[in-house]
Amino acid sequence: MRAIALDKPSGKPTLRTDVPEPAIQAPDELRIRVLEVGICGTDRAIVRGEGGVPPSGSDYLVLGHEMLGQVVETGSEASSDYKAGDLVVCTVRRPCRLPECPTCAHGESDLCYTGKYSERGIVGAHGYMTSRIVESTDFAVKLPPELRPYGVLIEPTTVVEKAILESVLIQNRLDWVRNLTDDQEANRDWRFVKRALVAGAGPIGIMAAFVLLLHGVETHVSDIRPRDGYKGRLVESIGATYWNVMETPVEDIPSSTGSIDLIVEATGVAPVAWQLLSALGVNGVLVFTGVPGDRGGELELEGGHLMRQMVLWNQVVLGSVNANRSYFLQAVKDLSEMGRRWPQQLASVITAHVPIENYETALTSQPADEVKAVFDIPEN
Ligand SMILES: [Zn+2]
Ligand SMILES: [Zn+2]
């Protein structure tokens, strides 16, 4: 089988032709034909030499963690829920399975305590940029057929589903939010988030805007590109307001919009991310989703001012990584609704379908107006 892989000895991406055909080994497994795989900043970082660990015993790592596939064969225990032809998306992270890790045991490997998890296409497990894979139903979710055009966006959507739902849960600390809600749905109450700012109009940021708008939140998106460019027009066509921070610095945005309750950081640039605190309102939450390199993000902050602001305004800053299966289920639900409301715009998030032969260019460069480029994976 062919696969786009990182060759560990040379550190270069390659199109391999010798990847073994996978076979079902356990009754709960699915054999899946991969249809599309999204190209993401993480893949490009791996190709630049930042991270990327092959499974033990392998000298290459099949890349890709944002997949859409179709079931071709089911294990005996999987056959009641899945059948050949079903669309599926698989999650990324696999649990550490260590006894001292209660979160992994609970299906929340995104919150793994030991750090000894693996991630398909990133660390310790092969990814999805290949024709066929085998996966346990524990790590797969089924998609309705109408999500075929955008199903590859599920994984990036799960990142913001988690980040935003965690922020909503945190706001449950506010007594007035608790008092407004009368049942166990309290931690899913969105009323506190009246106004949100998403920083960065890449795939994560744009999917965050879709999720927020779906919940009726007044949504603003900031980026460094002009407002009449591709991303600006896309963002405004779904009902969010676009801010070019080259014209309006982020700290000036609230003076036009009013207090901002939630900021979703989706830039991956540390100095930009911390700067967002200057736009955060009273009782606000700032959630980081970007993963910058370990070095090169040095910045100077007026620490006294920021600490004073955070304390006096009861602000929360949190980081949020990856997502477990529950967020994939939520993303399937939300993407279905987005597809009904904004079919054209949702399709416009995918800006390029790339043949796998063009792997080198696609993994080493990024066109200015790209939102999400995906590899079309051939059957052979
Ligand atoms: Zn990704
Ligand atoms: Zn764990």
Closest listed ligand to the CA of 109? 2
Indicate if the alpha-carbon torsion angle 33, 36, 38, 42 is positive or negative.
Answer: positive
Taking only the tens place, the pLDDT of each residue in 102-140 is 999 999 999 999 999 999 999 999 999 999 999 999 999
Residue 224 lies in a domain: yes
Closest CA to 12 of 57, 61, 65, 58: 61
CA 174 – ligand 2 centroid, Å: 31
Residue 7 lies in a domain: yes
Do 119 and 244 fall into the same domain? no
CA 66 – ligand 2 centroid, Å: 21
Q: Which residues surround ligand 2, an ion (CB under 5 A)?
A: 96, 101, 104, 112, 114
Residue 132 lies in a domain: yes
Residue 199 lies in a domain: yes
SS3 of residue 19 by DSSP = coil
CA 56 – ligand 2 centroid, Å: 18
d(Cα 132, Cα 23) in Å, to the nearest integer? 9
CB neighbour list of residue 92: distance below 8 Å, 6 or more residues apart: 65, 119, 120, 121, 122, 155, 322, 323
How many domains are contained in the chain?
Answer: 2
CB neighbour list of residue 196: distance below 8 Å, 6 or more residues apart: 212, 217, 218, 219, 220, 260, 261, 262, 263, 264
198: tokens are: 């998403």
Give the global pTM. Answer: 0.95
| pLDDT for 298 | 86
Do 192 and 296 fall into the same domain? yes
CA 206 – ligand 2 centroid, Å: 30
CA 170 – ligand 1 centroid, Å: 25
Q: Angle at CA 359, nearest 5°, toward 357 and 361? A: 115
Do 361 and 282 fall into the same domain? no
Residue 288 lies in a domain: yes
Q: Angle at CA 353, nearest 5°, toward 351 and 358? A: 120
Strand partners, 3: 16, 130
SS3 of residue 356 by DSSP = helix
CA 267 – ligand 2 centroid, Å: 27
d(Cα 18, Cα 31) in Å, to the nearest integer? 18
CA 16 – ligand 1 centroid, Å: 22
Do 228 and 287 fall into the same domain? yes
Taking only the tens place, the pLDDT of each residue in 241-269 is 999 999 999 999 999 999 999 999 999 99
Do 173 and 287 fall into the same domain? yes
DSSP states of 255-295 as a string?
Answer: HHH---SEEEE-S--HHHHHHGGGG--TT-EEEE-----SS
Do 118 and 220 fall into the same domain? no
Do 115 and 48 fall into the same domain? yes
Is 222:204 a contact under the CB 8 Å cutoff?
A: no
Indicate if the alpha-carbon torsion angle 367, 64, 265, 308 is positive or negative.
Answer: negative
DSSP states of 302-317 as a string?
Answer: -HHHHHHHHHHTT-EE
| pLDDT for 186 | 47
d(Cα 194, Cα 236) in Å, to the nearest integer? 18
CATH number (domain holding residue 42): 3.90.180.10
Do 219 and 137 fall into the same domain? no
Strand partners, 30: 74, 135
* Residue 14 buriedness (CB in 10 A; 0-12 / 13-18 / 19+): middle
d(Cα 146, Cα 340) in Å, to the nearest integer? 10
CA 199 – ligand 1 centroid, Å: 17
| pLDDT for 192 | 74
Closest listed ligand to the CA of 46? 1
Do 231 and 110 fall into the same domain? no
CA 116 – ligand 2 centroid, Å: 6
Closest listed ligand to the CA of 114? 2
Closest listed ligand to the CA of 110? 2
Do 75 and 206 fall into the same domain? no
Is 132:1 a contact under the CB 8 Å cutoff?
A: yes
CATH number (domain holding residue 231): 3.40.50.720
| pLDDT for 179 | 64
- Which residues form the domain of 199? 157-319
Looking at residue 325, its amino acid is R
Query: How remote is the C-alpha of 79 from its chain's centroid?
Result: 29
Do 272 and 356 fall into the same domain? no
Q: Can you list the residues of the chain whose pLDDT is less than 50?
A: 186-187
CA 304 – ligand 1 centroid, Å: 35
CA 372 – ligand 1 centroid, Å: 10
| pLDDT for 268 | 92
CA 106 – ligand 2 centroid, Å: 9
CA 99 – ligand 2 centroid, Å: 9
Closest listed ligand to the CA of 67? 1
Closest listed ligand to the CA of 63? 1
- For residue 149, what are the CA distances in angstroms to 29, 127, 153, 365, 374? 25, 21, 9, 24, 11
Residue 298 lies in a domain: yes
d(Cα 228, Cα 291) in Å, to the nearest integer? 28
Do 163 and 301 fall into the same domain? yes
Closest listed ligand to the CA of 99? 2
Closest listed ligand to the CA of 122? 1
Residue 341 lies in a domain: no
CA 247 – ligand 1 centroid, Å: 29
Residue 228 lies in a domain: yes
CA 360 – ligand 2 centroid, Å: 34
CA 41 – ligand 1 centroid, Å: 6
CA 97 – ligand 2 centroid, Å: 6
338: tokens are: 């987005």
